[in-house]
Amino acid sequence: MPKTITKQITINLSEEQTIVELSKSVQSLRSDIYLKKFLNGNMIEINLNSFLGLITLQLKNNERITVRAVGDDCEDALNRVVEFLT
């Protein structure tokens, strides 16, 4: 069974940061990375590699989300995403 690590964070993006940059920064990693949040009363979880999913998630500052990474390098993956989004 693949290793999994999860962390809840609060989004704090600057005006200059884009989700495309985040996606590019984790492309070299082997782990699958998921972002999960409540949207319109429903729990939505998307794979970070899905641009359509990222658009659907509508990330905004001060929102709480869960980041989950699954794979051999999941700790590095989680740390990169958390650092970027906070």
What domains are there in the chain, each with its CATH number?
A: 4-85 (3.30.1340.10)
Report DSSP state, residue 81.
Answer: H
Q: Can you name the residues that pair with 7 across neighbouring β-strands? A: 67
Tell me the per-residue pLDDT of 15-37, one tens digit each, with 9 for 90 and over: 888 877 888 888 899 999 999 99
- Per-residue pLDDT at 29: 93
- Per-residue pLDDT at 78: 97
- Per-residue pLDDT at 20: 79
In this structure, the number of other CB atoms found within 10 A of the CB of residue 66 comes to 14
- Per-residue pLDDT at 21: 87
CA–CA distance, 55 with 51 (Å, rounded to integer)? 6
- Per-residue pLDDT at 11: 95
CA–CA distance, 3 with 22 (Å, rounded to integer)? 22
Residue ranges in the chain whose pLDDT is less than 50: none
